[in-house]
Structure 1
Amino acid sequence: MPQETKLILCPINLRHTELDYSEYEQAVTMAKFRGAKLILATVAPEFERNLNIRDVEGFWKEELRKFLKTHPADGVEVETAVRKGSTHREIVRLAKERKADVIVMKSANPKVKDYLLGTTASHVVAYAPCSVYVVRSYPHA
């Protein structure tokens, strides 16, 4: 019997959502189909490039709110989460803490350095306590 899906974690990089947010669309579709709750999360860097941002967590929480306003997840219960630190570690940590059943995330088109150093998606796949659905993203022409 297949495992019931109650909680889906979808980490998104808000710096690139204007280009592609296909992982979010997939997560919403999956949540609707399975009757699951969705956690939409973003991870802020430990040290923000723009030092004018005094409340990093507040800033990114507001950005998540704006994203949800323009991309509603009709019919799905959505919770937001902002973490600060190393992206791959924070995704795995959040999945463990919240006991996520599946993570839906994006993997960018790999470059040579990604094969040598590893990608965020490959780290999450290796260390996540649950299944990981990786949505492939390709550069736009």
Structure 2
Amino acid sequence: MPSDTSLILCPVNLRHVQLNVTAYEEAKAMARRREAKLLVATIAPEMERNLNIRDSASYWEEQLKSFVEQHPAEGIELETVVRLGAVHRQIVKLADERNVDLIVMESANPRVQDYLLGTTASHVVAHAKCSVYVVRG
């Protein structure tokens, strides 16, 4: 039976989360206003550059759990998910698979100041079937 609750996807780049959580905060506010469920995702590389990380999925699941604990979402139904692969493709794929109503994401890597929209955000905007809200950090 389909749910009447809308679903908001907020991809979080945990490698840069200490720099900016603006999109996540905006996604929480939108979820509260819409009484929507919030799906917080992080995308990990299939091949980790950090040789100390042996099990990428488990490592990033723990990092995402810690992030959510440090940035609680009181009053919001929240689910976390970790995907492996290319960030831009996995965001679109996850949104399609879960029939997401809205994606709320950062505009670019916080260190990249020369682009209006980052390559990941550009790909998601161009290929997602749902609305995409891009937040400037």
Q: What TM-score comes out, normalization by structure 1 length?
A: 0.87
Q: Secondary structure at the match of 1:10?
A: strand
Alignment correspondent of 1:44: 44
Letter in 2 for 1:32: R
CA distance in 1 between partners of 2:132 and 2:61 (Å): 24
Change (3 A) 1:5 1:127: farther
Change (3 A) 1:97 1:38: same
Q: Could you list the runs of 5+ residues in structure 1 that have no partner in the other structure?
A: none
Tell whether 2:125 aligns with 1:102: no
> What is aligned with 1:83?
83
Contact map agreement 1:5 1:101 (CA 8 A) in 2: no
Name the SS of the counterpart of 1:104 in structure 2: strand
The AA in structure 1 aligned to 2:9 is L
Deviations along 1:5-48, one digit per CA (max 9) or x if unpaired, are 61000001001111111000000000000000000000001211
Q: Shift in Å at residue 68 of structure 1?
A: 0.8
- CA deviations 1:37-94 (Å, max 9, x no partner) are 0000000012111122111101000001100111000100110010111000000000
Give the residue type in structure 2 aligned to 1:24. Answer: Y
Partner residue of 1:131?
131
Q: Secondary structure at the match of 2:43?
A: strand
RMSD over equivalenced CA pairs, Å: 1.7
Question: 1:25 — aligned with what?
Answer: 25
Q: Which has the higher mean CA deviation after the structures are superposed, 100-109 or 119-128?
A: 100-109
Partner in structure 1 of residue 68 of structure 2: 68
Residues 45 and 64 from structure 1, CA distance in 2 versus in 1: closer, same or farther, beyond 3 angstroms?
same
How many residues are paired up?
A: 131
Consecutive unaligned residues of structure 2, counting only runs of 5 or more, are none
Tell me if structure 2 keeps the 8 A contact 1:105–1:121: yes
Counterpart Cα distance in 2 of 1:52 and 1:70: 24
The question of whether the paired residues in 2 share the 8 Å contact of 1:8 and 1:104 is answered with yes
